[in-house]
Amino acid sequence: MLQKECDKHLVGGMIVKRGGQLEMFEKPESIHLYGKDEAKADIDFGNKFYESLKEGKIDIEIIYLTRKYYETMKRYQSLMNNAFLPKEMKALMEKIIKNIYDDITINLKQLLEDFVCNVYEKRKNSEKFGINTVGIYNEFNEKRHDNSQLITKVRARTREYLMIDKKW
């Protein structure tokens, strides 16, 4: 049930693996035979992941993106690619987009990898624990870039460019 609810909001994923070929996916072939090979590949990937986890070195390959994230980034890209947008504002928009991208590919990736390793350690030590998703969100919120000053500059520059506050 939770998986179905999540699937309604997901539209794709961002590859965040550190170099190399994705291990959780294979190159699609024109004919796919179901059966033992498919199950074996899943088991092999799971075993590899578990061995890496025991060493405390995991590499999340994909972070799935929500429809809202995709639509927001699409709007930012559209604004940034507007031919009438002054260069200074375009540079500010590029910086905001880069910050968001870095937040996902670097900050969130690292936070999730650390979280998975911490859960594994707690479980290995048979400690009783609970997972608080709000705590994970708060931790990410502390690490992400604060784009408020860049947004303020975009707004101010837009008002100036459109001469909104100009006395006629």
Could you tell me which residue, 165 or 22, shows the higher pLDDT? 165
Tell me: the pLDDT tens digits for 90-138? 999 999 999 999 999 999 999 999 999 988 888 888 778 888 889 999 9
Question: pLDDT, tens digit, for every residue of 35-89?
Answer: 655 556 556 667 777 787 878 888 998 999 999 999 999 999 999 999 988 999 9
Predicted pLDDT at 26: 56
d(CA 17, CA 24): 11
- Is residue 145 scored above 70 in pLDDT? yes
108-143 CB burial, b ≥16 within 10 A, e <16 = bbebbbeeebeeeeeeeeeeeeeeeeeeeeeebeee
Is it the case that residue 23 has pLDDT exceeding 60? yes
**Which residues does residue 63 pair with via DSSP β-bridges, in sequence order?**
14
Q: How far apart are CA 138 and CA 144, in angstroms?
A: 10
Tokens of 112: 């999730």
What pLDDT shows up at residue 75? 94
Question: So what's the pLDDT on residue 43?
Answer: 65
Close Cβ partners of 37 (under 8 Å, ≥ 6 residues apart): none
Q: Show the tokens assigned to 132.
A: 């608080």
Alpha-carbon distance of 130 to 162, in angstroms, equals 52
Distance CA 134, CA 142 (A): 12
Per-residue CA distances from 154 to 84, 85, 117, 145 (Å): 14, 11, 40, 16
Confidence tier at 9 by pLDDT (50, 70, 90): confident
Q: pLDDT value at position 3?
A: 79
Higher pLDDT: 87 or 30? It is: 87
